[in-house]
Chain A
Amino acid sequence: MRKIKEFVIVKLIQVCGLASIFFVALIFLFLLKEGLSVFKTVSPFDFSFGKNWYPISEPAQLGILPLISGSLLVTLGAAVISIPIGVGCAVYIAEIAPLKIKEILKAGIELLAAIPSVVLGFIGMITLVPLVKNIFHLPTGLTALSGSIMLAFMAMPTIVSIAEDALYSVPKTYKEGALALGATHWQAIWRVMLPAASSGILAAVMLGIGRVIGETMAVMMITGNAAVMPNSILVPVRTLTATIAAEMGEAVVGSEHYFALFAIGIILFIISFAINVTADLFLQKRQQ
């Protein structure tokens, strides 16, 4: 009797374990099946590097370069803002802050991670967008820059908590060794702690960026959604994610447009996958 119970439980857990992989495979297959159909009408090259996205004109023009550029521009901007602040914050929490401030900061960072992206987008729309408009004297504040700033807030919790973890797990003896040689606190941080934690910090950055590139709601609300090639960070852009979210509802099932949106999904999937794998590689390197 006990053996049967044991057997059933083990099998049940096994099913749960395999289910996640099964679902991922299903999703990916579905994405491929729907997405690849678009390449019957447009070549992969024209799709990826075409400069015009007019999915409902006749004939439809399905070039997603403006969308890729939009995503990359917003992500790059967010990275430039969030990496120095995030890593700086992690160093402060791990190395400098007194215990009490450390606790408060960590709680604050967790809170920042808990804000739903639609709320961040809404706040950005009300406060940041008019500010950007006024500062740069633009016709509209719905720009890539606004999106970058808002997304930087979303990437920061990830970057801070993982980078702080990486710094914390550097053996204490490293720091003591440097200090015993007469290093100042800053020299010990810059020349010993940061290099020793570098792979963990890189992983933190990659995961932060991964979060930014997959983000949809906030960017849709504040980047202006113009599917044209951006020529600066102060113009409206549209990202890959926002395109899918905004157009999927209107696309006729089975149309070229519909398949193209799935193909964008494939591209996003590949980008996120690549970023996550890179982050994993860095994390593994750290464990060795």
Chain B
Amino acid sequence: MVKFEVHDLNIWFSSIHALKQVNLEIRSNEILSVIGPANSGKTTFLRTLNRLNDLNAAFKMTGAVELERKDIRGIDIEELRRKIGMVFALPLPLPLSIFENVVYGVRMQGERNRKKLEEKTEQALRQAYLWEEVKGRMDESAFKLSGGQQQRLCIARTLAVDPEVILFDEPCSGLDPISTAKVEDAMVKLKEKYTIVLVTNNVKQAARVGDRTAFFLSGELIEIDATDKIFTAPQDKRTDGYIRGRFG
């Protein structure tokens, strides 16, 4: 089943043409890795999906992005962002307890029932592979966690609002290899329930977890295909060059 369909997407920031004529689809319950060098437009693409680019006054787009055949500009923006969770590059815990961090988004939607909040927290933390490490210390400050734990806490916070899609924006760029492995494990497990789009600078990570991989270069989508194919027999010479580390 197709989750997202992107048609003729063009994006400008003032006069900078950040994305050029992008057409692709994102399937339900897959991990789509998006790779490309700096300034390739991959993060811009990701932020288009939950309309976070709209915060920038210079943002302009043509074409259409459809979530389950509905134009995302026609969906209530808070509803859209609740359906499409996002995990940022740097772990961004709030200066609150672990528990309060996880239920933050849930509370914002008006949930007050303590028992429900606790259920949600446990469920989300389990899915993010963090429950075992923090279950006895819910009231401790989130800043006491390690970087990798903080990032998984942010994943749990995103999961707690029951999204359908999760966007990862270079989620492991600040993490050590062991923490990275844990976040990757969580992602692979999560795709059973969610659709995942992963923007990453780490080509090997894309190969490890992605079902399909899209390669962006200077705002253009050069190639999108099954990950095996991209990494063994890419159609485009530029893709080949990038994944072999010849540039980027």
Contacts and interface: CB of A to CB of B under 8 A. Distances in A.
Given A99-B57, A176-B55, A182 B109 contact: yes
B85 A173 contact: no
Interface in B148-163: 157-158, 161
A180 B81 contact: yes
Nearest to B93: A177
Nearest to A180: B86
Contacts of B78: 182-184
B233 interface: no
A183 B108 contact: yes
Nearest to A176: B52
Contacts of A173: 88, 90, 92
A181 B161 CA distance: 7
Contacts of B50: 180
Interface string A211-233: 00000000000000000000000
Q: Is chain A's interface secondary structure helix, strand, loop, or mixed overall?
A: helix
Interface residues of B, number: 22
A192 B101 CA distance: 12
In this complex, the interface size class of chain A, counting residues with CB under 8 Å from chain B, is 10 to 19
Given A176-B52, A177-B88, A191-B108, A182 B82 contact: yes
A184 B78 CA distance: 6
Interface string A165-209: 000000001111111111110010001100100000000000000
Contacts of A178: 108
A181 B82 contact: yes
Contacts of A181: 81-82, 85, 104-105, 108, 157-158, 161
Contacts of A176: 52, 55, 88
A182 B108 contact: yes
Nearest to B96: A195
Nearest to A99: B57
Contacts of B157: 181
A192 B55 CA distance: 16
B105 A182 contact: yes
* 10 nearest A-B residue pairs (beta carbon): A182-B82, A181-B105, A180-B86, A182-B81, A177-B92, A182-B78, A183-B108, A184-B78, A187-B108, A173-B92
5 contacts: A98-B57, A173-B88, A177-B88, A182-B105, A182-B161
Interface of B: 50, 52, 55, 57, 78-79, 81-82, 85-86, 88, 90, 92, 94-95, 104-105, 108-109, 157-158, 161
